[in-house]
Structure 1
Amino acid sequence: MFFEYSKLNKSLSWSDYETVLCIAEEGSLTAAARATGQSHPTMTRHLNGIESRLGARLFDRLRTGYVPTETGLVLLETAQHMRALTLDAERQVQGQDTRPEGSVTLTTTDTLLMGLLAPVIPDFRSDYSEVTLDVRTSNTVFDLSRRDADIALRPSSSPDLNLAGQRLGVIRHAFYRPSSWTAEEAMSGPVIGMSDDMPDDRFHSVLRDYALEDRVGLKVNSLLASYQTARSGLGIALLPTYLAEGEEGLVRQTNVIPAMDTDLWLLVHPDLQKTARVRAVLDFLRRNAFIRKRLLAGEAD
């Protein structure tokens, strides 16, 4: 009897596999603890306990981070498979929902939230009062297959083919000057550029094409910051027309710039699009007249 209990006590739970998976993906105990909301000592004790029960080291503790050993890789592969099975089962069960109620997590950028989503959320709440939108703004692409989010509203030239999606339109860009400036002042005034770590190189290329690099007097690391500083009179900025067109404090200085055109996609995992609350959000955004109108802003030059 003692032998059987000891064997049972040494077996790993799903939380043990999750710990191994999190440490491997985050690369360190500190990052894994932060991602799971645990303290560093708790995460350390958990990993030490797992290794003690198995009698094997799962990670090499290197200066650059935690790297799975060969034994750790075996557990990591199993953990990834278990997670995939768990998420698949959850998606299938959630797909059986019939009423639009509950929480829906939507990931998008801060600029799209401000320019397209925030103005229509009151109407959505009026139509679907039992659905709570949990909006996550980030320039990081969330993994919908891992349930980092239910829906993504993202600019993309090549959306994930494993996701169900609909192209809502094209995001256009143009240069805008502060409304306190005259057109003549804008010809020589300072330009707001993007920080060097901006992932979209086209912003830098357009400044070169328009010979504006030498006039950059301020750099920011987000489109929303560019929009806000331009409205404050700090310089000319390259902005999406859905955000800047017709806004108080800004005047369009150029025609739309075709090199900046980017498709806007509404994406969801195929299993989740059958869920009533997710479908409610998708249908509302697909048919929303305000979103379509703002995407067309500035198109007719």
Structure 2
Amino acid sequence: MAARSQDLGDARWDDVRIFLAVHRHGSLGQAGARLGLDTSTMSRRLTALEAALGARLFDRTREGLVPTRIAELVLPAAEAMEAAHRRLARDASGAEADAEGVVRLSVAPGEADVFVVPALVRLRARHPRIRIELDASARVVDLTRHEADVALRSVRPEGADLVVTKLGSARWVAAASRQLVKDSGRVASWDAVPWIAWDRDLASLPAARWLARHAPGADIALRTSFFLSQLTAAENGLGALLVPEPYMNARALAPLQFAGALEASAAEWPSDDLWLVGHRALRDVPRVAAVWNFLIEELRPLA
């Protein structure tokens, strides 16, 4: 049977609260323990919600209750209802809402490895009931389809359903290990040092185009599209690379020193923006708001 509505307009808040607990815990028993309700009451309320929606929300399996496709579709609306309910309670009592549950976070591989993953221990200490699901692939997920709750992007996305805030901008610079910088002295030609370059599948990146244009005769010691491998190779002295300044500051790297004749080409180093993106319907959900505010606190000082 198909759901009559995905906005939960016919549903009681008490029943939606039970749906969220079951979705998060995967069983009536654990969800009931969390809410202080017995299993029979949980089952009865969940059945009432399914009747109001005209759809089955969970498949019953040996492993527990597995959300159906309809459950995933109504989840954002349920969480928006939860956020509104908590705002009402918070405004009335002044109490801060608890943040708990899964937050799906989409971050580019380099940002994930260098900045986000090391910070998760601090997020965990502050919000121990938040669980992060991290997509650190290079693919761009669709937040409007709820493929992620929060994302970090270098290009500002467009969409009426999205809320976006700029964390800052960062310039790319030529950098290398401190020993290689010392050994190279003041570089008179970009071809004079070995380089770590992007592989051919990412030759269109601004940093890759800059290197191809200004160091066409350089010794390319390593080509790889894995940014963490580039950073590790550079730290170990394999060659120089173009890298955003926050990454240089976070790793054992230093800027190359270069002659005045290279200033014009250095002025062409690219610059990246960093945007924090979320779905408007989920922005005030406590678990999403907690991660959102934490990322601003952690990443804005770096840009």
Q: TM-score, normalised by structure 2?
A: 0.62
Cross-structure match for 1:93:
78
- Give the C-alpha shift of residue 94 in structure 1: 1.4
Cross-structure match for 2:246:
242
The amino acid that maps onto 2:233 is T
**Distance change (3 Å), C-alpha of 1:225 and 1:213:** farther
- Conserved 8 A contact 2:106-2:141: yes
**Distance change (3 Å), C-alpha of 1:219 and 1:185:** farther
**Distance change (3 Å), C-alpha of 1:149 and 1:213:** farther
Q: Which residue among 270, 274, 279 is the counterpart of 1:264?
A: 274
**Distance change (3 Å), C-alpha of 1:145 and 1:262:** same
Q: How many residue pairs were aligned?
A: 212
Q: Which residue among 233, 253, 256 is the counterpart of 1:253?
A: 256
**Matched position secondary structure for 2:280:** coil
**Distance change (3 Å), C-alpha of 1:212 and 1:293:** farther
Cross-structure match for 2:196:
192
**Matched position secondary structure for 1:271:** helix
Cross-structure match for 2:299:
291
Matched, 1:223 2:208: no
Superimposed CA distance per residue, residues 32-73 of structure 1 (whole angstroms, 9 cap, x where no aligned partner): xxxxxxxxxxxxxxxxxxxxxxxxxxxxxxxxxxxxxxxxxx
- Conserved 8 A contact 2:107-2:135: yes
- Give the C-alpha shift of residue 109 in structure 1: 1.3
**Distance change (3 Å), C-alpha of 1:222 and 1:276:** same
Cross-structure match for 1:161:
159
- Conserved 8 A contact 2:173-2:269: no
**Distance change (3 Å), C-alpha of 1:246 and 1:284:** closer
The amino acid that maps onto 1:90 is L
**Distance change (3 Å), C-alpha of 1:200 and 1:282:** farther
**Distance change (3 Å), C-alpha of 1:105 and 1:246:** closer
The runs of 4+ residues in structure 1 deviating greater than 4 Å are 85-88, 254-259
Q: Distance in 2 between matches of 1:224 and 1:213?
A: 25
Structural mapping, 1:117-196, within 5 Å = 117-156=116-155, 158-162=156-160, 163-181=162-180, 182-184=183-185, 188-196=192-200
The amino acid that maps onto 1:234 is L
Structural mapping, 1:58-77, within 5 Å = none
Identify unmatched segments of 5+ residues in structure 2: 4-68, 87-97, 258-262
Identify unmatched segments of 5+ residues in structure 1: 1-11, 15-82, 296-301
Task: Provide the identity percentage.
Answer: 23
**Distance change (3 Å), C-alpha of 1:135 and 1:252:** same
- Give the C-alpha shift of residue 231 in structure 1: 1.1
**Distance change (3 Å), C-alpha of 1:113 and 1:246:** closer
Cross-structure match for 2:38:
none
- Give the C-alpha shift of residue 191 in structure 1: 0.8
- Give the C-alpha shift of residue 215 in structure 1: 2.6
The amino acid that maps onto 1:294 is L
Q: Distance in 2 between matches of 1:118 and 1:171?
A: 20
**Distance change (3 Å), C-alpha of 1:199 and 1:217:** closer
- Conserved 8 A contact 2:164-2:275: yes
What's the C-alpha RMSD, in Å, of the aligned pairs?
Answer: 2.8
Q: Distance in 2 between matches of 1:164 and 1:291?
A: 17
The amino acid that maps onto 2:185 is E
**Distance change (3 Å), C-alpha of 1:268 and 1:204:** same
